[in-house]
Structure 1
C-alpha cells in the first residue's frame, strides 16, 4: 500500500511526543514508517514543510477550517481561538516549537480570509486585521514555549521556586509572588490576551474615526 501523507504526519506527531523536536529527523521518521528517506519527499519538500503540516494537524480538531467568525462578537472568537490553540499546542511535546515559524497551508487560507472579513466588518483595515491575528498568534507561541519550558523544568528544580525567605525584603515581589511563580497559567494567559484584545478595540475606534465612521468599534 502506498504511503499516505496523513500517515506520515500522524507518525511524525507520535515521534514528536516520544523524542521531542530534536529527535524528529527524516531518517528516524522513514525508519518508523518502514521506507527509505527519499520516499517521504513525495509528501513534503523539506523538514520545514513537514513541520507546517504537523502544525496544521495539531490545530485541525481545535479549530475547524469551516468556522465562520462574525464581526459582532470578534473579541469572543479571537479569545476562544487563542485558548483552543494554546491547549492544542500544549497537548504535544514541543508543540509551540513545531508551530513557530510555520506559514498557513493552502487548506488553511480560507479560514484566515474568513477571520479577516469579520475583523474588517468590525472596522479594521485588512493590514491591521492581519496584524491583529499575527500578534495574537505570536503571543500564543511565545507563551506556550515558555509554559512548556517551565513545566518541563519544574520537575528538575525539585524545590519551591522563589521561596518566601528570598522575597522577605522585596515587598512588591512578595505581593505578586503567585504570578512570579506561575501558579495559574490559565489566568495569566487570559490576562495578557485580554490586554491585547482591548488594545485592538482602541485601534478599531481610531481607524473608524480616520475613515469618517465607516466602521464601528465593537
Structure 2
C-alpha cells in the first residue's frame, strides 16, 4: 500500500487526470489507485471540489515558479512571455484548462500584485493593466480549452475539405498580439496626455 499524505494524493490525482481525463476522475478511482479506502481521502480533502482546487493549484506550479519581472524588463516582451508560460503550463496536463477554469489563485495573489505593479510602474494605466491581464488570461484559458477539446475529440479522420485547419499556437500568438497592441496603444495615449499636461504646467511657470 502506498504511504499517503496530502502531496501524494494530489500528485496521484494529477496522474489519474492525465490517464482518464477530468470527467472520469473520481475519489473512488483515486482511492483504488492509492490502495486505500475511499473515506480515508476525506482526511485530506472534505469534498471533491477541494481536491480539484488543490489539483489546479499544483498543476500551475511551473507557471507560479516562473521569474517575476524586473525593472530592466521590457513590459511588452514580459507580457507576451508571461502568457506563453501560462499556456505551456495549462497544456502540461490533460484537461488542464478545464481544471484551472474558475479556480481562485489564493496563494498567487502576491505574485499577481507584483506583476501589476510592474506594468503600472512601466507606464501602463492601472485599470488598463488589470483589464488586459484579465482578458489575456481568459483568452489563454479559452484557447487551450479549444485546443485540448480538439485533441480529445480527434478520431484520426480528416476534417471536411471546406473546414480550415487551425494552427492553435499561431492563432494564440495572433490573438495575444492583438491584446498587447491595444494595451500599447492605451499606454501611449496616457504617456502623451501626461506629457501634454507637463508641458502645460511648465508654460504656466
Q: Where do 1:49-198 residues align within 5 Å?
A: 49-64=50-65, 67-70=67-70, 72-106=73-107, 108-154=108-154, 156=155, 158-159=157-158, 161-163=159-161, 166=162, 180-182=164-166, 184-198=167-181
Given the two structures, how large is their TM-score scaled by the length of structure 1?
0.77
The separation in 2 between residues aligned to 1:181 and 1:140, in whole angstroms, is 19
Q: Give the alignment's Cα RMSD to 1 decimal.
A: 2.6
Preserved contact between residue 52 and residue 104 of structure 1 (Cα < 8 Å): no
Which consecutive segments of 4 or more residues in structure 1 shift more than 6 A? none
- The equivalent of 2:35 in structure 1 is 34
1:5 maps onto 2:3 in alignment: no
The separation in 1 between residues aligned to 2:141 and 2:170, in whole angstroms, is 17
The 1:123/1:37 distance shift into structure 2, 3 A limit, reads: farther
Q: SS of the residue aligned with 2:21?
A: helix
- The equivalent of 1:199 in structure 2 is 182
The 1:29/1:209 distance shift into structure 2, 3 A limit, reads: farther
Given the two structures, how large is their TM-score scaled by the length of structure 2?
0.81
Preserved contact between residue 123 and residue 191 of structure 2 (Cα < 8 Å): yes
Q: Which stretches in structure 1 are left out of the alignment for 5+ residues?
A: 167-176, 214-218
Q: SS of the residue aligned with 1:61?
A: helix
